[in-house]
């Protein structure tokens, strides 16, 4: 029987994640308490998002959940407290995520100074504005407009635990070291599936929650970045391209499935909970 083996939210886009034992499923992804996945984002002076692709040190920015604030830490810096309610009355600014522009609240000068020092370039921290809307494209969702915050494109990324085992077996044959799951930055990892079986799942049912895979996730160079050190290493994509290219998606190397929430919003999901995966082959 398949089950949830891990749940992770990434409060700040492209920064470190927080593993959870339980999370609430919302239409725009996982949340816990007052914090949602990809609710904050780092931007440059023009409001353009920054990511680990260009700034690997972002992996070292570690959020932690506190009662009244998100606490940020970084090796060599004093921690920084980001109160949950402090920026809710701040003026909105227009920021850009890929091809989307959306309203966000600027988190202020102290946050900008701290995150700029952490990453090593002038930048600012923003938060998805109350009432702001951003939706996935309709091409792969069957016409359904799925809301998201600052995720690259979809509310959830799901990967099977056995898929990482498969990847590491191929890396071993190539003389490479194994990779941890955090290199692929999933929200939900499912144990008990065959390797890459998630590619063929029509929907996952976890209690009352229904999660629908809609598109394989094309991988960028982020899996080459050690999430514990922020140092770029050998890129696993050169091994993966031998067997994980998807012709339908311009030969992109794909690992994991981008998903939307098609039922059970508000449901709590727990590590160890049973997962029912319904297969569908096209």
**99-146 pLDDT, tens digit each:** 999 999 999 999 999 999 999 999 999 999 999 999 988 788 877 778
**What are the residues whose beta carbons fall under 8 Å from the beta carbon of 109, sequence distance 6 or more?**
none
Q: How many domains does the chain have?
A: 2
Q: Are residues 90 and 186 in the same domain?
A: no
Helices and strands, number each (H, E), in the chain:
3, 22
Structure confidence at residue 278 (pLDDT): 86
Q: Are residues 171 and 268 in the same domain?
A: yes
Whether the CA torsion 80, 72, 49, 137 is positive or negative: it is negative
> Alpha carbon of 198 to those of 25, 122, 213, 215: distances in Å?
19, 40, 8, 11
CA–CA gap between residue 244 and residue 239 (Å, rounded)? 9
CA–CA gap between residue 148 and residue 136 (Å, rounded)? 7
Of 128, 154, 170, which marks where a domain is finished? 128
Residue 281 has pLDDT above 70, yes or no: no
pLDDT above 90 covers a percentage of the chain that reads 90
Residue 89 has pLDDT above 80, yes or no: no
Predicted TM-score (pTM) of this structure = 0.96
> Alpha carbon of 203 to those of 29, 47, 208, 214: distances in Å?
15, 36, 12, 9
DSSP letters, 168-196, are: HHHHHHTTPPP--GGGT--SEEEESSPTT
Range of the domain at 142: 2-31+137-279
Of 128, 147, 163, which marks where a domain is finished? 128
Taking residues 206-214, report their average pLDDT: 96
Structure confidence at residue 32 (pLDDT): 97
**What are the residues whose beta carbons fall under 8 Å from the beta carbon of 59, sequence distance 6 or more?**
14, 15, 16, 52, 225, 226, 227, 228, 229, 230
Class of residue 66 by CB neighbours under 10 A (exposed 0-12, middle 13-18, buried 19+): middle
Q: Are residues 9 and 146 in the same domain?
A: yes
Tell which residue, 55, 61, 48, has the closest CA to residue 10: 61
Q: Which two tokens stand for residue 167?
A: 């990847």
| CATH number of 154's domain | 2.40.33.20
Q: Are residues 9 and 123 in the same domain?
A: no
Structure confidence at residue 259 (pLDDT): 97
Structure confidence at residue 139 (pLDDT): 83
Q: Are residues 245 and 268 in the same domain?
A: yes
What are the pLDDT digits (tens) for 185-194?
999 999 999 9
Q: Are residues 201 and 63 in the same domain?
A: no
What pLDDT band is residue 88 in, cutting at 50, 70 and 90? Answer: low
DSSP letters, 44-57, are: -TTSBB--TTT-GG
């Amino acid at each position: 029987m398949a089950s949830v083996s891990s749940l992770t939210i990434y409060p700040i886009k492209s920064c470190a994640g927080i593993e959870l034992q339980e999370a609430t499923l919302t239409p725009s992804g996982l949340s816990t308490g007052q914090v949602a996945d990809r609710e904050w984002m780092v931007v440059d002076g023009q409001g353009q998002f920054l990511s680990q692709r260009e700034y690997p040190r972002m992996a070292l920015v570690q959020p932690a959940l506190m009662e009244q604030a998100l606490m940020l830490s970084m090796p060599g810096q004093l921690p920084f407290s980001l109160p949950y309610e402090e920026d809710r009355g701040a003026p909105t600014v227009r920021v850009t995520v890929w091809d989307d522009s959306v309203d966000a609240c600027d988190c202020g000068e102290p946050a900008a100074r701290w995150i700029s020092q952490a990453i090593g370039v002038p930048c600012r921290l923003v938060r998805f504005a109350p009432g702001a809307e951003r939706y996935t494209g309709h091409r792969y969702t069957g016409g359904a407009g799925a809301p998201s915050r600052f995720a690259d494109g979809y509310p959830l990324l799901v990967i099977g635990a056995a898929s990482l085992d498969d990847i590491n077996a191929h890396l071993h044959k190539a003389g490479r070291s194994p990779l941890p799951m955090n290199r692929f930055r999933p929200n939900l990892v499912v144990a008990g599936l065959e390797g890459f079986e998630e590619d063929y799942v029509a929907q996952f049912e976890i209690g009352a929650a229904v999660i629908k895979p809609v598109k394989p996730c094309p991988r960028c160079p982020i899996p080459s970045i050690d999430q514990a050190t922020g140092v770029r290493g050998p890129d696993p994509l050169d091994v993966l391209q031998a067997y994980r290219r998807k012709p339908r998606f311009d030969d992109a190397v794909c690992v994991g499935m981008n998903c939307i929430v098609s039922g059970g919003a508000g449901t709590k999901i727990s590590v160890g909970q049973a997962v029912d995966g319904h297969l569908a082959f096209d």
